[in-house]
């Protein structure tokens, strides 16, 4: 649990020139350092009703649990100012749905957008007020306190206890790694987008989850398919797209993103569903199954396991700006690293919430979540287990074959086939690498990198060098 303090509750108030929406911020990171209540924007929203619906959709996801829905969730959304846009993000309590509303330049009017990241208060009275915004109501938006000097503010400080679980942090990290492997698979015009999304179930059978479906683009429509044919997109748990219903009447298009699917694919995959709105975008990214939160997907484990990626991440962190797009080629040129090493460093930074990924622009963006850099690494069970195996000398290597002796004495065999490691353990048999490496394969990779580093340092005894 973490104490999140606001100067006052966020509120929607009537004013002579229209409605005024004041979103209160908590402690956050800015280019000038950590501030108690940063201010990111003051001006008008060009499409007030659309923005209100989008913000409510993000808040819906933050308050939802799509797996074990009887358990309540309560997470304040995160807001990031990127200089030309505001991004509002949230995760579901079950960590299987990531929502992001991007309010772009055309959606904002009359003020400069600041830089930084913080939590923003979206309380129940505010939600009720936002739901009543009319199409023609002028809406002034303030993200942050009325005054830059917090001591001049009237009223008591409002403090809430909100959960910031390790699964939430790992979910942010894994979601951006997975999304970076997506491509645009389909784009539907407004009428077809509305028809398709309204045809989806709001809940699974008997109130449960309904499992994964597959759809395939056919011209400008999506048609169901019984199997994952090439070009198909997985819709895992279609009821988890319910939050998009908030904005359907304002939609101008629906874009669908996913990984490449071959005819041999059988497993469900993650996907991203983006509703294009006037001056904005609302994107929901779904994990491969309602029972699978993003936190356990394992896409960041290789980056966490290498000292090289850690050192590169320190360098890239210095070079990162608060621009809306993080250009890999520019970072590679400035750092002297290869683009591949820059991407690995960005993955590493993502594990502490310092970057996200925008599928619409196929680019990373800067953000700063309130986590220390080593938290995800310390609290990742597979990574901890792999480090313990290496420290205990449990890894034996013989060319492409390695053996790992577990604590219980059971010996696991790890085989290297063209750079892909497979293992004889139950984890590998169940997931076949679909949720990242098992702890045994990760330990073998660490041991091999350690041996290679020793050789490069001239410390290999067998070859006569010291």
For residues 47 and 178, membership in a common domain is answered with no
For residues 183 and 251, membership in a common domain is answered with yes
Ranges 165-169, 230-234, 270-274, 420-424: which has the least confidence: 165-169
Question: Structurally, how many domains does the chain consist of?
Answer: 4
Q: What per-residue confidence (pLDDT) applies to 21?
A: 93
Domain residue limits at 366: 301-375
Give the bridge partners for 218, in sequence order: 221
Per the listing, tokens 């993103």 go with 257
Mean pLDDT of the chain: 83
For residues 94 and 226, membership in a common domain is answered with no
For residues 330 and 416, membership in a common domain is answered with no
Give the bridge partners for 223, in sequence order: 216
Handedness of CA 375, 378, 381, 382 (dihedral sign): positive
Last residue of a domain, one of 375, 401, 417: 375
For residues 349 and 308, membership in a common domain is answered with yes
Q: What per-residue confidence (pLDDT) applies to 214?
A: 93
Is the residue at 462 inside a domain? no
What is the per-residue pLDDT across 395-451, written as a single tens digit (0 to 9) for each? 998 888 999 998 888 999 999 887 788 999 988 888 877 777 889 998 998 888 776
For residues 155 and 16, membership in a common domain is answered with yes
Strand 221-225 relative to strand 212-218, pairing? antiparallel
Is the residue at 465 inside a domain? no
Q: What per-residue confidence (pLDDT) applies to 462?
A: 37
Q: What per-residue confidence (pLDDT) applies to 83?
A: 92
Q: What per-residue confidence (pLDDT) applies to 372?
A: 58
3-state secondary structure of 51: helix
Ranges 23-27, 172-176, 236-240, 287-291: which has the least confidence: 172-176
What proportion of the chain, given as a percentage, has pLDDT over 90? 42
Can you tell me the mean pLDDT for 115-129? 89
Compute and round to an integer the Cα radius of gyration of the chain: 23
Which one is predicted more confidently, 463 or 239?
239
Q: What per-residue confidence (pLDDT) applies to 376?
A: 59
- Work out the pLDDT band at 143, boundaries 50, 70, 90: very high
For residues 146 and 183, membership in a common domain is answered with no
Is the residue at 466 inside a domain? no
pLDDT score of 265 more than 90: no
Is the residue at 437 inside a domain? yes
Distinct helix (H) and strand (E) counts, the chain: 12, 26
pLDDT score of 157 more than 60: no
Q: What per-residue confidence (pLDDT) applies to 417?
A: 83
Q: What distance in Å separates the CA atoms of residue 420 and residue 245, rounded to the nearest whole number? A: 41
Closest CA to 21 of 122, 156, 100, 163: 122
Last residue of a domain, one of 326, 346, 375: 375
pLDDT score of 161 more than 60: no
Q: What distance in Å separates the CA atoms of residue 466 and residue 464, rounded to the nearest whole number? A: 7
Tell me the CATH number at 306: 1.10.10.10
CA angle 282, 283, 285 (to 5 degrees): 160
pLDDT score of 461 more than 80: no
3-state secondary structure of 444: helix
C-alpha 105: how far from chain center: 22
Q: What distance in Å separates the CA atoms of residue 414 and residue 12, rounded to the nearest whole number? A: 59
Q: What per-residue confidence (pLDDT) applies to 137?
A: 75
pLDDT score of 50 more than 60: yes
Q: What per-residue confidence (pLDDT) applies to 466?
A: 31
Give the bridge partners for 178, in sequence order: none
Q: What per-residue confidence (pLDDT) applies to 152?
A: 27
What is the per-residue pLDDT across 92-109, written as a single tens digit (0 to 9) for each? 888 899 999 999 999 999
Can you tell me the mean pLDDT for 61-72? 78
Is the residue at 464 inside a domain? no
Question: 442 with 382: CB under 8 angstroms?
Answer: yes
- Work out the pLDDT band at 114, boundaries 50, 70, 90: very high
Question: 231 with 216: CB under 8 angstroms?
Answer: yes
Question: 130 with 88: CB under 8 angstroms?
Answer: no
Is the residue at 87 inside a domain? yes
Q: Which element (helix H / strand E) includes 420?
A: strand 420-423
For residues 291 and 305, membership in a common domain is answered with no
Is the residue at 337 inside a domain? yes
Is the residue at 280 inside a domain? no
Can you tell me the mean pLDDT for 258-270? 79
Upper half-sphere CA count for residue 239 (Cβ side, 13 Å) = 18
Question: 310 with 453: CB under 8 angstroms?
Answer: no
**DSSP secondary structure code for residue 157 in this structure:** P
Question: 297 with 174: CB under 8 angstroms?
Answer: yes
Last residue of a domain, one of 342, 375, 408: 375
What proportion of the chain, given as a percentage, has pLDDT over 70? 82
For residues 67 and 138, membership in a common domain is answered with yes
Ranges 116-125, 150-159, 244-253: which has the least confidence: 150-159
For residues 12 and 95, membership in a common domain is answered with yes
Closest CA to 269 of 257, 282, 284, 281: 257
pLDDT score of 350 more than 50: yes
For residues 77 and 184, membership in a common domain is answered with no
For residues 366 and 242, membership in a common domain is answered with no
pLDDT score of 207 more than 70: no
């Amino acid at each position: 649990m973490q104490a999140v303090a606001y100067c006052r509750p966020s509120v929607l108030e009537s004013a002579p020139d229209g409605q005024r929406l004041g979103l209160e911020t908590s402690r956050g990171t800015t280019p000038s350092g950590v501030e108690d209540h940063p201010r990111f924007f003051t001006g008008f929203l060009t499409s007030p009703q659309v923005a209100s619906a989008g913000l409510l959709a993000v808040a819906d996801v933050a308050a939802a649990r799509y797996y074990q829905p009887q358990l309540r969730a309560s997470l304040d959304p995160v807001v990031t100012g990127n200089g030309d846009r505001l991004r509002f993000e949230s995760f579901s309590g079950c960590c299987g749905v990531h929502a992001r509303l991007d309010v772009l330049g055309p959606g904002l009017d009359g003020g400069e957008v600041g830089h930084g990241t913080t939590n923003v208060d979206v309380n129940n009275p505010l939600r009720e007020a936002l739901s009543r915004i009319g199409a023609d109501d002028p809406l002034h938006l303030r993200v942050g306190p009325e005054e830059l000097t917090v001591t001049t503010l009237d009223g008591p400080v409002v403090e809430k206890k909100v959960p910031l679980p390790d699964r939430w942090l790992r979910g942010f990290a894994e979601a951006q790694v997975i999304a970076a492997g997506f491509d645009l698979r389909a784009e539907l015009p407004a009428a077809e987008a509305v028809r398709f999304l309204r045809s989806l179930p709001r809940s699974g059978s008997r109130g449960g989850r309904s499992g994964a479906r597959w759809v395939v683009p056919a011209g400008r429509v999506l048609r169901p398919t019984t199997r994952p044919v090439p070009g198909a997109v997985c819709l895992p748990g279609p009821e988890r797209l319910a939050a998009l219903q908030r904005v359907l009447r304002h939609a101008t298009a629906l874009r669908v993103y996913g990984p490449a699917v071959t005819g041999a694919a059988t497993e469900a995959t993650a996907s991203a569903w983006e509703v294009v709105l006037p001056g904005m975008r609302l994107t929901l990214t779904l994990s491969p199954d309602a029972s699978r939160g993003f936190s356990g997907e394992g896409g960041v484990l290789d980056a966490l396991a290498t000292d090289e990626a850690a050192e590169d991440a320190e360098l890239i962190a210095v070079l990162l700006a608060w621009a809306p797009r993080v250009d890999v080629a520019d970072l590679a040129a400035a750092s002297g690293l290869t683009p591949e090493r820059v991407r690995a460093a960005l993955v590493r930074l993502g594990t502490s919430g310092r970057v996200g990924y925008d599928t619409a622009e196929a680019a990373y963006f800067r953000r700063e979540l309130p986590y220390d850099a080593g938290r995800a690494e310390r609290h990742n069970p597979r990574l901890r287990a792999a480090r313990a195996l290496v420290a205990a000398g449990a890894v034996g290597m013989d060319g492409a074959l390695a053996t790992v002796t577990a604590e219980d004495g059971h010996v696991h065999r790890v085989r290297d086939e063209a750079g892909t490691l497979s293992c004889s353990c139950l984890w590998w048999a169940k997931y076949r690498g679909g949720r990242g490496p098992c702890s045994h394969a990760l330990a073998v990779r660490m041991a091999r990198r350690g041996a290679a580093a020793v050789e490069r340092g001239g410390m290999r005894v067998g070859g006569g060098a010291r």
